[in-house]
Amino acid sequence: MTLWARWHHDRMIKEIRVGIVRVVIVDDQAPFRDAARMVAELTDSFEVVGEAETGEAAVEMVRDLDPDLVLMDVNLPGIDGLEATRRILAGSDRTRIILVLSTYEPDEYAPRAAAAGAAAYIPKSLFGPDALAEAWEAATAER
């Protein structure tokens, strides 16, 4: 596919899917991926398009699926979620939103997530449809 054809195809797909936020979930714990998928499905206009268990898999999946939003755990096998966030953002030619989720203390990890380029840090205990929608709205208002 030529570069122009790829651009035209991508533009048409985005026009058809306007308003849909495509989400990739990254967490090494299947129960939390299931919970995060349920949160996304309960949030208007969010659709899960992929799930990864490692930082390396996340970087590759984001490159292949081109989601709008990545829900990234901090503690992952291989490269951690903060390094995966840096790599995803460094390898992207478009604005992408990454929300870091973790059980770690926000006082310590929120600044580290921001330094990695994440739009927000959300403690897993507070993650739900309202928190997801509010974080998305805040991140996209800044663009």
Q: What is the pLDDT of residues 32-77, one digit of tens each?
A: 999 999 999 999 999 999 999 999 999 999 999 999 999 999 999 9
DSSP of 69-101: EEEEESS-SSS-HHHHHHHHHHT-SS--EEEEE
The SS3 call for residue 131 is: helix
Predicted pLDDT at 130: 95
pLDDT over 60 at 9, yes or no? no
Q: For each of the domains in the chain, give its residue range(s) and CATH number, in order of start.
A: 19-141 (3.40.50.2300)
Predicted pLDDT at 92: 78
Predicted pLDDT at 1: 56
Q: What is the mean pLDDT of residues 20-40?
A: 96
Write phi, then psi, for 140 (nearest 5 degrees). Answer: -80, -25
Residue range 99-130, pLDDT digits in tens: 999 998 888 899 999 999 999 999 999 999 99
Q: What is the spatial order of strands in the sheet that 21-26 belongs to?
A: 46-52, 21-26, 69-73, 97-102, 120-123
Predicted pLDDT at 11: 46
Predicted pLDDT at 8: 41
Q: What is the largest CA-CA distance in the chain?
A: 47
Predicted pLDDT at 93: 73
